[in-house]
Structures are given as C-alpha cells and as structure tokens.
C-alpha cells in the first residue's frame, strides 16, 4: 500500500514537470504571437490556457486526495504541500501567457511592441522562458543548486523592466499612449511569469532540503 | 489531544481573519496615499507589507505543522489546505497594496491619478476594500452566501477597469504617457486585489461546503 502511495506521489511530481513544459510552450507561443503579430498562435495560446486550468484542477484534487487517503510521512507531506503551491503558480503563469497573447490579438495586424523595444522584449521573453524551463528541470532532477540560480535571473528581469520604463518615459518616445499602456502591462506580465518561476524554484528547494530559501530575492507570493 | 488540535486550528482561522483585517487597512491606506498624495501614509503602507509577509510565513508554518502533527480528519484537512492557499492570497494582496503606495511615493508631491480619473479610482478602491472585508467576514461567520456574492463585485471591478482604458485611449487624454502608464498599472493592482479576494472567497466556500464554486466568474489562480 505504501508502494502504491509513493507511485501516486511520483506521478503527481511527474505531471507537475509535464505541466511546466506546457507552460514553457505557452510562454514561447505568447512571445511568437506578440513579436510576429501572429493571430493563429495568439488564439492557440489562449485556448491552451483552458487545458492548463484543467490540469491545475486535476492535480490539486489528486494532492488533496493523497493527503486525505493515508497519513503521509514528513517528506511526502512536504512534497504534497509544495505541489499544491506549485500547481497554483503554474496555472497563474499560463494565465499570464494568455494575457500576453490577448494583447497581441487586440493589436493584430499591428505589432503591440514598438520597434524601439523589440530587442528588450525579445530578451525579456527569453529570460522568462528559460526561468520556467529551469524551474521544471530542477524539479525533475531534484536539483536545488539550479533552482537557487533563479533568483539571479529574476534580477536580470527587473533590469530589463527598468530599461523599458526609461525608454517609455524618455523624451524620444513617439509611439503614443496606447503603445505605452501595452508595454507597461506586457512588461508586468513577463515580470510576473518570472516571479512565479522563482516562487516555484523556492518550493523545489523546500521539497529537496526541507527549508525555504531566505532573503529579499525570494518572494513569498 | 484532539481538543487541543481543534483549538490550534481555530486559532489559525482566527489569525487569517485578523490578517484579512490588516490587508483591508493596507488597501485603504494605499488609496489614501494615492488619492491624497500622502507620503507618510505611503511609507506606512510599504512598511506594513513586511508585517504581512511575517504573518504569512508564521501561518504557513503553523498549517504545515498541524498537518504533520496528527492525521487531520476530512474537514480539518480541508480547512488547512484552504488556509495555506488563503494566506498566500492575503500576502499577495499586501504586496499589491504596497505597489500602489510605491507609485504614490514615486510621484509625490504630485498625485499619480489625473483629475479625470479620480472618481473612477475612488470607486475602484472602495470596491476592492469592500471585497477584502467581505472575504474576511464570510470566513469569520462561515457564510458561504456572502462569499458567493464576491464574484458579482468582481464584474463591477472589471467594468471600472474597462472605463479607465476608454478614458486613457480616448482623444481627450492630455495627461501624457507617464500618467497613462501609472493608471494602467494602478488599475491592474486594484483588479488583482479584487481577484485574490474572489479566490479567497472560493476557498471560504470550500471550507464550508467541501466544494469549490464553478463557472467562469471563479478564477483558479
């Protein structure tokens, strides 16, 4: 019976890793939709969010049922509590990717990102996608060291966001108010995807070591 | 020993209600800081966020220890799982209130909200604060009916946000790019505070009925 239990728990972790892969695809697709003004990919990203929400509900129910079915030992309980939190973060990242795709769809056939900020968004999207990938891989490989590096990537993200503000609020900005509003929100969405990757990484470290990382680089929510 | 356990669990719920009260104060203070351009209140709101984070960490640890200490029966486990989720939502609402206060501080001694959007933000802030208050009260009183009403308030919030966009992107907007960026982000922060109040209300319903409410008005993350 305990073997059975361990198998169910491993299958939860397996599915969390798989869901992280889907979120990574969602972030990549959202970026393609945004930078290429690709309507079909935008629609695909928005539809994919429903599947991520379905997986969220399924995984949450399975964690809860595992908690209720048999008194979990300490390490198992830690994994289940962390899984509940990670699945919420993953669902949220999926929502944020869909938000990016919705702005791309709203501005189609124009591109929501002005030329002057294209390199910035290309980099920002790459950092966000890599952070999601690292969070998933560190969970798969139980690698606390890789998970720990995510707090540094998050600083890179913050710098990219600051540079967006400098461009938008500089005297050279001639793309108007609508583009500025889009950029402010798009930057926020990518920044939040990165934040959730960091929170997920903190939970990976918790599963492995039993301790949450501390310090101002590790947000709690 | 079970009596002892129930007392500890009730004290977790009590402290969640208390934390909701502090979040409500944070939202109110953030609004005062924003609409009155009050630097002292802005600083107070930003400092108060650290206390909310401390309470988050403390409550999360207590939930986890209660899960590990003794196999909880179904209703207790449900309350603990919901509490873990609610405390994360509350910490996040505190962060968002601090974000509002930081924009107020950044623009001081000017007011970040242009005159034309003052009535809109006054209403938006009132709705957000009331939603937080209702979420806390429905938890205190175990009132699933009041919790269920929050999905309607959230629609009011969405309408207020849409009307902000109409004003900003209309031809009459003469407050410039910086004000538009502030408004886009401030509107987003209040909208997210409302979303978290709705998610918290869904968890209150879950504690009482054992079921999560369904439908598109109930976000999962």
DSSP states of B100-118 as a string?
HHHHHHHHTTS-SS-GGGH
The total of structural domains in chain A comes to 1
- Within 8 A of A185 by CB-CB distance, chain B residues are 184-185, 188
DSSP state of A70: S
Q: How many CB pairs under 8 A join A and B?
A: 82
Q: Give the domain range for residue B88.
A: 2-209
Residue A92 lies in a domain: yes
A144's CB contacts (< 8 A; 6+ apart) are A138, A204, A205, A208, A209
B99 touches chain A (CB under 8 A): no
If you average pLDDT over every residue of chain B, what do you get? 94
- Which candidate, B113, B118, B157, places its Cα nearest to that of B134? B157
Residue B39 lies in a domain: yes
Residue A216 lies in a domain: no
Q: Tell me how far CA of residue A190 lies from CA of A17, A122, B92, in angstroms.
A: 20, 11, 17
Residue A34 lies in a domain: yes
| Angle ∠(A100,A201,B93) on CA atoms, nearest 5 | 60
- Which candidate, A53, A187, A207, places its Cα nearest to that of A142? A207
Mean pLDDT along residues B128-139? 98
**Can you tell me the distance from the alpha carbon of A4 to that of A199, in angstroms, rounded to the nearest whole number?**
30
Out of A68, A91, A92, name the one closest to residue B74 (CB).
A68
pTM of the model: 0.96
**Can you tell me the distance from the alpha carbon of B197 to that of B220, in angstroms, rounded to the nearest whole number?**
12
- What pLDDT is stored for residue A219 in this prediction? 72
Residue B155 lies in a domain: yes
DSSP state of A117: G
- What pLDDT is stored for residue B167 in this prediction? 96
B53 touches chain A (CB under 8 A): yes
CB contact under 8 A, B67 and A85: no
Residue B110 lies in a domain: yes
- What pLDDT is stored for residue B32 in this prediction? 98
Mean pLDDT along residues A131-135? 98
Mean pLDDT along residues B163-180? 95
User: Are the C-beta atoms of residues A80 and A66 closer than 8 Å to each other?
Assistant: yes
Residue B190 lies in a domain: yes
**Can you tell me the distance from the alpha carbon of B205 to that of B147, in angstroms, rounded to the nearest whole number?**
7
Closest CA in chain A for residue B66:
A77
Residue A160 lies in a domain: yes
- What pLDDT is stored for residue B72 in this prediction? 84
B177 touches chain A (CB under 8 A): yes
- What pLDDT is stored for residue A59 in this prediction? 97
How would you class B174 by CB atoms within 10 Å of its CB: exposed for 0-12, middle for 13-18, buried for 19 or more? exposed
What's the CATH number where B134 sits?
A: 1.20.58.220
pLDDT in tens, A144-178: 999 999 988 889 999 999 999 999 999 999 999 99
B117's CB contacts (< 8 A; 6+ apart) are B164, B167, B183
- Within 8 A of A176 by CB-CB distance, chain B residues are 177
pLDDT in tens, A67-125: 888 778 888 999 999 999 999 999 999 999 999 999 999 999 999 999 999 999 999 99
């Amino acid at each position: 019976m305990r073997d059975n239990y361990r198998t169910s728990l491993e299958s939860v972790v397996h599915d969390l890793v798989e869901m992280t892969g889907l979120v990574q695809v969602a972030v990549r697709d959202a970026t393609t939709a945004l930078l290429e003004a690709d309507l079909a990919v935008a629609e695909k990203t928005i539809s994919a969010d429903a599947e991520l929400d379905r997986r969220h509900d399924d995984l949450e129910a399975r964690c809860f049922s595992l908690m209720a079915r048999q008194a979990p030992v300490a390490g198992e309980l830690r994994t289940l509590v962390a899984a509940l939190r990670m699945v919420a973060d993953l669902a949220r990242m999926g929502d944020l990717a869909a938000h990016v795709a919705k702005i791309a769809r709203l501005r189609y056939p124009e591109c929501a990102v002005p030329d002057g900020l294209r390199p910035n968004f290309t980099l920002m999207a790459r950092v966000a996608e890599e952070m999601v990938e690292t969070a998933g891989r560190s969970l798969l490989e139980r690698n606390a060291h890789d998970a720990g590096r995510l707090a540094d990537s998050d600083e890179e993200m913050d710098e990219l966001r600051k540079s967006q503000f400098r461009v938008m609020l500089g005297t050279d900005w001639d793309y108007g108010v609508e583009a500025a509003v889009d950029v402010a929100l798009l930057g926020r969405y990518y920044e939040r995807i990165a934040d959730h990757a960091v929170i997920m990484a903190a939970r990976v470290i918790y599963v492995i070591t039993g301790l949450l990382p501390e310090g101002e680089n590790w947000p709690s929510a």
